[in-house]
Chains A and B, each alone.
Chain A
Amino acid sequence: MMRLIFKIWLWCLAACLWLGTAQGANFTASLDRDTMTLGETATLSLTFEGGSPQNAPAPDVPGLDISSSGNSQSFSMVNGAMSSTVTVTYSVTAQQPGQYTIPALTADVGGQSLTTQPITLTVQKPDAPSADDIHSGNEAAFMTLSLPSGKVYLGQELTAELRIYVRDDVQNFGNFQFTGQNADGFLLGKSAQGGRSQARVGDRVYTVIPVTYALTTTRAGQLTLGPFTAQAVIVLPSQNQPNVDPFFRQFFNQGDQKQITLATTTATLDSLPLPDQNKPANFGGAIGNFTLAVSVGPTNVTVGDPVTVRVQIAGHGALDSITLPDQSVLPGFKVFPPTVKTDAGNGLGLDGTKIFEEIVTPQTADIHAWPQFSFSYFNPDDGQYHTVTQPPVALTVQAAGATPMPAFAKTSAPENQPPADILPIKENPGRLRPTGTALINQPVFLLLQGLPVMALLAAWIWRRNTDNLANNPRRRRQLAVAQLVSQGLAELKQFAAGNQPDEFFATLFRLLQEQLGERLDCPASAITENVIEEHSLLRQAPASTRDGLRELFQLCNQARYAPVRGTSELNSVASQFQKVIAELKELRA
């Protein structure tokens, strides 16, 4: 049974839908207003009834910015007839005042091609409210714009004040946005919002929001500022609850939200050109009222050392336009480009200090001072040029290679106070050397330490030998005889060559005595031919050695009586002596 009822209900619904759609489709375009002020936003609605569009048309009107802001769909049933409505909305803003026409739009809805009627939108230029409107309290919010009075010069910076008045019954003031800031002959600079205050205008109390603008005049002649236009959203108390006590209304009244357009009147002033009379040669365009301070340090340096020159210009005026005179070509100095720092005294940048810091290096020791520095500006208050001058700063520049006072001593802060910055860099790299290992790890250095050890060892050995020799007379005699024999052999050869047999054999005999005396450890004078047979050491000697000795002794004896022999024979005897001496040295006691 239930199943049958459900089927019947479905059939009824389908029939109703068919009946609804069979009523015919409709397509309309509408604006929420036909007139608006420049800066306001209108809403364009495209409504499709009786079906959904295949493609919603996108209107395109020159001078208007139209952007989609959403769409919605709704169903309704009236007397059993169901209808559907699709609404596509667009936000419309104008770029310029004027009259605009949104053309007829065509869309395909439910298989039908439908066209809307053209719509006209009038965009009005925002106008400042009249004085009567303001004083009557009819304006929920309004703006005023004012310029200072007095002479204004080309390039001068000044301020304009914009005041936004919001009536006391406005529950909320938000989404404030400028839509136009006309400034003919002015360059708009920074702005700063001041503190809110209350002011009575006519019979109403308004909250005043001041906004100060920095302006720079860009040409001479009559200049016009404004109108400034803006839009905002305010919430006013709802008029639908007149009987509710105001005390409770402030808590429970949600209010009516309203978008408003604000506009100021225009303000004009005359801008004067800067006078040519008495214009200083170094005038660089600074307009205002300034003071100058120059510091130079350190003042005791070596040629090539960096010196910091700090030029501080403080006062009221266009700080951005202040430039340092070109100092790139200063005789005797090398000047690096300066760094610039601006400390604005307020948010507008019209008061404050501009600091130029440049590094210079004296190139010769002939420099004795940092030269005089002048700065010129035009003061609009008295309409005259002024020049402030800083006298020369004495410098002591020592020639490279001289010993300057240590840098830390010149720049260090007083005792017990931390230094303000690190000490400056050094001009010379010093002696560059390869990155090496520590001396103690270098083999050459370690080997070098062996030299004194070896010297000491050698001295110790020498001392030991010397001492040993001093305590060993036989060894001393051995060495002395060896030296004597060595010298004697040379003499023998000389005598042989000179054919001097007497001297030859006398020397030979003496050498034989010395050598045998040393070997036999007895006085040399006691040595005769008989020792060959008598001494045990010689008895143990080879027969050839003993024969040789015997022959040499006999030759010495015969030489006293025999005739003179020749050189060759003497040389032969000398050789024989040398051989016998060598054999004697081999004998062991």
Chain B
Amino acid sequence: MKAPILNSLVVSGKRVLLVMVAIGMAGNLFAADADGDFAAANRLYAEGKFSAAATGYEHVLETGGVSANLLFNYGNAEFKAGNLGSAIAAFRRAGLLAPRDQEIRANLDYVRNQVQGTTIRPPRWQEWLGQLSLNEWTVLTALAFWLALALFTVRQIRPALRPRLSGFTTLAILLTLGLGTGMGLQAASHFTQATAVVTTTPATARSGPFDDAQESFTAHDGTELSILSRHDDWVQVSDAQGKIGWLNVKQVQVVPGA
């Protein structure tokens, strides 16, 4: 009676193993494809075919995943192809993944300097918070939280250690509160303060979310605008001077706030 059950378990195990191996191989194949596509796009860039290189990087983004380096190169290619808005959006996305990467910041600043007109800039405290990505804030907060709870747990198990652990416990609690505040602010910025980067020029903002609405103001390619609200295919934006208007989503790329 036991033998058939054992056999069926062995067969099932083999199948599971095969599926896992297949998934692993497929993953490796995709990774190899993405690396190949990335290298091909780099070659196009080196040959001065910037639009083709941008298309290549975009293909990797769509099929192979995302990374700061990939978005960095994509931004470079878009800039060289003359698409300031797309370049800024790519650099900002790269910055979200690698917020302390000096090269990304340098290129973003360089491209921003090429944009005509004024553009919104985040306040200083937000730039300071932006030194860490939202995920980094989250992980640090979680670590501090775990540490604080671990200390509390030890205090329950070993009451004799309470006097010794009280300082560490207070520090862990303060750390959790501080990091949690940073995470909260960063999350609020990420989820509520999205930015619209103009990708066409000139983009005419209108007084209402429809094509026939009166013109409100004009923004150039690469201008960064605050998103106030959304309605169907339109976003209500505000420029650095506080002017408000509606832009079609085809005219902009929406980038999370932090």
Contact = CB atoms under 8 A, between A and B. Distances in A.
Contact of A412 (B43, B67, B106, B149): B106
A473 interface: no
Interface string B85-120: 000000000000000001100110011010000000
A448 B159 CA distance: 26
B67 A433 contact: yes
Contacts, number: 117
Contacts of A359: 46-47
Contacts of A306: 46
Interface residues of A, number: 41
A449 B187 CA distance: 17
Contacts of B159: 463
Contacts of A337: 47
A455 B153 contact: yes
B110 A408 contact: no
B66 A455 contact: no
B157 A406 contact: no
A456 to B, nearest CB: 5
A31 interface: no
B126 interface: no
A432 B31 contact: yes
A419 interface: yes
Nearest to A361: B46
Nearest to B150: A452
B196 interface: no
B63 to A, nearest CB: 10
B64 interface: yes
B135 interface: yes
Contact of B135 (A439, A456, A459): A439
A452 B146 contact: yes
B149 A439 contact: no
Contacts of A336: 43, 46-47
Contacts of B42: 425, 427
Interface in B188-234: 190
A423 interface: yes
Nearest to A458: B153
Interface in B25-77: 31, 34-35, 38, 42-43, 45-48, 60, 64-70, 72-73, 76-77
Nearest to B108: A422
Contacts of A407: 103
A434 B66 contact: yes
B138 interface: yes
A405 to B, nearest CB: 12
B168 to A, nearest CB: 15
A426 interface: yes
Identify the interface centre among B35, B69, B80, B113: most chain A CB within 10 Å of its CB: B69
A468 B209 CA distance: 68
| B: contact size bracket | 35 or more
Identify the interface centre among A359, A412, A422, A463: most chain B CB within 10 Å of its CB: A422
Given A336-B43, A440-B183, A429 B153 contact: no
A435 to B, nearest CB: 5
B111 A462 contact: no
Nearest to B141: A440
A449 B146 CA distance: 8
Contact of B149 (A424, A426, A438, A455): A455
A448 B103 CA distance: 35
A239 interface: no
B79 interface: yes
A150 interface: no
Given A432-B31, A434-B65, A435-B65, A425 B76 contact: yes
B145 interface: yes
Contacts of A433: 65-67
B66 A435 contact: yes
A438 B138 contact: yes
Contact of A440 (B145, B156, B187): B187
B237 interface: no
Contact of B72 (A412, A426, A449, A459): A426
A176 interface: no
B134 interface: yes
A440 B73 contact: no
Contact of B79 (A419, A422, A460): A422
B159 to A, nearest CB: 7
B10 interface: no
B240 interface: no
B244 to A, nearest CB: 28
A453 B149 contact: yes
Contact of A463 (B69, B103, B156): B156
A438 B134 CA distance: 7
Contacts of B67: 429-433
A469 B54 CA distance: 71
B110 to A, nearest CB: 5
B106 A419 contact: yes
A425 to B, nearest CB: 4
Contacts of A459: 152-153, 156-157
13 contacts: A408-B103, A408-B106, A418-B113, A423-B76, A423-B106, A428-B69, A430-B67, A433-B65, A439-B139, A445-B142, A452-B146, A456-B153, A456-B156
Interface of B: 31, 34-35, 38, 42-43, 45-48, 60, 64-70, 72-73, 76-77, 79-80, 102-103, 106-107, 110-111, 113, 134-135, 138-139, 142, 145-146, 149-150, 152-153, 156-157, 159, 183, 187, 190
Given A418-B110, A421-B110, 4 more contacts: A306-B46, A427-B42, A429-B67, A430-B67
Interface of A: 306, 336-337, 339, 359, 361, 406-408, 412, 418-419, 421-435, 438-440, 445, 448-449, 452-453, 455-456, 459-460, 462-463
A-B pairs, top 3 by smallest CB distance, nearest first, are: A432-B65, A452-B149, A459-B156
